[in-house]
Chain A
């Protein structure tokens, strides 16, 4: 007697695996962030001008940077600020974008046209002007970054989810829900959203990683974290002049971001396959 199971394995059997792996990685980071103080051994901001640019050693596992700070403890402490940036930065765009995409795609008509032109406008809006204005108004810092992101980042979510909704709304189960006299908003939340969310679930995890990286790229506008905060993106940016002489300054924060990105990637895919299996 043989066992034959379609091709490959059942996708929902795999979902928890990916989710677990991704969750474990992200959780590990969260733990590191919480316990940063006791794990790292050095104060991340302590400057030691006698220990500039030391290569990795038993004393300094990841070496020291151009100001003699311990890269290992900076990487560890970086988890704190970077997780914060990632999560806090994604939340508003996610919520706003999802809402706009849902409503716009579902109700269509003039509302949709209006919303989509608003999306166009937002995409077209000069981001740097926005950033400057926000920084000028609120002062430099990560919070300004979040606000700038919230103003702009939702667009992507809105477009993605709207594309899904446009197809879903013509399905019979939505028609059926209508004939049940259910409130359109309820239909939107209960029937449309769960069926449209999976690309968003994947993108949001990508987005978190992008937000962390992008923050560093905006440093030149006074955006993102302020020195001397240990933040991976900034550490990499600072280290770029030392690429040939002190690779470790960029390398370890880079690895930290990649690993975290992987964690989120697993999480996103796991979530998506869970959603798939939920059908």
Chain B
């Protein structure tokens, strides 16, 4: 018996009926969510999956009433029988944090840049649960440890900008869990996490759920995660619920056409169907001569900052080593996957490659030219050839520029297209990344996470680069769009010999898409090799752990799956 069934007779703790959300935009009202209804019981996990931009995040925010001011909400949201939409802000405050906590999709902007994360996590404790500062700090350290942040005593005093993407996300989770809410709304809580950490976090959530009868709404693109974690699943598309039901049911016997596509395009499944390497073009014969990139003994340090007082006393915190003594070669036309623990220096490495971070030591050659000592003009040329998609697409878009402007900018500035051709090319690029043209005038704030992601990809592709450094480009995308984007990249790779450096936590994607993979841990390169070798015969413990932690689509007994503790124990 599932949890839901056990409590089926009882009133749902949260019940949403025909929720509509409209946004006032320059182009008039836009409906983001239409007639969504859902029930959530204590101890139950409700999964929401769906197309990127289908209204998942908006629904979640509507429940906590945290939509932007331009939103018009109608419908009914009952929390323990009270209509949330009718409450005033004061009562609402009483509900948030303790009754409903929220993990936002976009951790980096949801953390106050000026406050140490320990404090941010402890805030709820202090104000909702009356802890004093020291207790709150202690508990924050505990929570950080729970979410598997290493050295929590040190990290508790870090500022958000000193954390890696995954760390921020975990800090966010810790903050939401702090007050032991009854309902947790988790909007893609694990997108920036590597599989080992992800499974640990999922375990943690599962434990809490059982221990505290937590009700949870989990939004994710990772069907495997959803299937593992959830009792019931809601599938959304275009603002509507297209299907909902018991998790097992939906996964095994999808009714709606969209659900079927969704499940089918799961890369793992795809990979299995298409006999391994079929998806991946074999690397063309090694070109002789220089590698595309040659990285030698790269080390990057970030100077620590221990607050003003310690600066005064000369006891500033020690520098953080993000990358240590890393050497690597990347060939022409190769697709290199970089995987590794969250905080292991992947993003830092990527930023070094595009000259955003200067190495503390070591050198990088691009086609035989050292990039660190390039002249300004060469740098411009270099950047035209090497493009990066940032881990956090929302942050990487100018808040004042519409999607179309952002994509058109490089075209115009580099005279890649002229006059009317620009508009045409922008539409073409938007089409390539599956962005509806109607979003052209939207600003980043008015886009969903996945939509921002695609704008960023389109912008990078607009440059027609030779190298694409893609930092977690698939994490915010649902599997259908994910596979379309990957297909697009593959196409480019085949047609134009695009070299891709793909940083991803999704080992499935790396395995099916990349030629070679590099595994990083603690700033060091642990292992590198062709994916078949690496995934088939991992040489290092860490790689093995990673592989073991990949969540899988349950095919047999869903119940047993979801109740058996660590996923790592799976075969």
**Touch A–B, Cβ below 8 Å:** yes
Q: Show the binding face of A for B, using Cβ within 8 Å.
A: 1-13, 170-173, 175-183, 186, 190-191, 194-195, 278-279
Q: Given A4-B85, A5-B71 in contact, is the A279-B400 Cβ separation under 8 Å?
A: yes
Chain B residues, CB < 8 A from A6: 65, 67-69, 71
The answer to the question of B3 belonging to the interface, with a C-beta cut-off of 8 Å to chain A, is no
Q: Given A8-B69, A191-B398, A279-B399 in contact, is the A175-B390 Cβ separation under 8 Å?
A: yes
One of B118-126, B380-388, B500-508 at the interface: B380-388
Instruction: State A177–B413 Cα separation when bound (angstroms).
Output: 11
Instruction: State A179–B456 Cα separation when bound (angstroms).
Output: 12
Determine chain B's interface SS by DSSP, over half rule.
Answer: mixed
Chain B, interface residues (CB within 8 Å), range: 35 or more
The answer to the question of B146 belonging to the interface, with a C-beta cut-off of 8 Å to chain A, is no
Q: Given A1-B75, A3-B72, A8-B69 in contact, is the A180-B395 Cβ separation under 8 Å?
A: no
Chain B residues, CB < 8 A from A179: 354-356, 383, 386-388
Contact code string B388-419 (vs A, CB < 8 Å = 1, else 0): 10101001111110000000011001100000
18 interchain pairs, CB-CB under 8 A:
A1-B74, A2-B74, A2-B85, A3-B74, A4-B65, A4-B73, A6-B71, A7-B69, A10-B69, A173-B399, A176-B397, A180-B383, A181-B384, A181-B410, A182-B410, A194-B398, A278-B400, A279-B400
Instruction: State A158–B375 Cα separation when bound (angstroms).
Output: 30
Q: Which of A10, A173, A175, A195 contacts B356 (CB 8 A)?
A: A175
Q: Is the CB of A9 within 8 A of B409?
A: no
Number of A-B contacts (CB under 8 A): 103
Q: Is the CB of A171 within 8 A of B395?
A: yes
Q: Is the CB of A10 within 8 A of B399?
A: no
The answer to the question of B82 belonging to the interface, with a C-beta cut-off of 8 Å to chain A, is no
Chain A residues, CB < 8 A from B382: 181
Q: Given A2-B85, A3-B74, A182-B409 in contact, is the A175-B396 Cβ separation under 8 Å?
A: yes
Closest beta carbon of chain B to A171's beta carbon, Å: 7
Q: Is the CB of B443 within 8 A of A176?
A: no
Chain A residues, CB < 8 A from B72: 3-5
Q: Given A170-B161, A172-B396, A195-B400 in contact, is the A181-B380 Cβ separation under 8 Å?
A: yes
The answer to the question of B80 belonging to the interface, with a C-beta cut-off of 8 Å to chain A, is no
Q: Is the CB of A186 within 8 A of B413?
A: yes
Instruction: State A171–B409 Cα separation when bound (angstroms).
Output: 18
The answer to the question of B24 belonging to the interface, with a C-beta cut-off of 8 Å to chain A, is yes
18 more contacts with CB within 8 A, not counting A2-B85, A172-B396, are A5-B71, A6-B67, A10-B70, A170-B161, A172-B395, A175-B356, A175-B390, A176-B388, A176-B396, A176-B456, A178-B383, A180-B387, A181-B381, A181-B384, A181-B413, A183-B380, A278-B443, A279-B400
Q: Given A173-B397, A279-B400 in contact, is the A181-B70 Cβ separation under 8 Å?
A: no
Instruction: State A278–B443 Cα separation when bound (angstroms).
Output: 8
Q: Is the CB of B69 within 8 A of A11?
A: yes
The answer to the question of B463 belonging to the interface, with a C-beta cut-off of 8 Å to chain A, is yes
Chain A residues, CB < 8 A from B390: 172, 175-176
Q: Given A9-B69, A11-B69, A178-B383 in contact, is the A2-B86 Cβ separation under 8 Å?
A: yes
Instruction: State A34–B444 Cα separation when bound (angstroms).
Output: 44
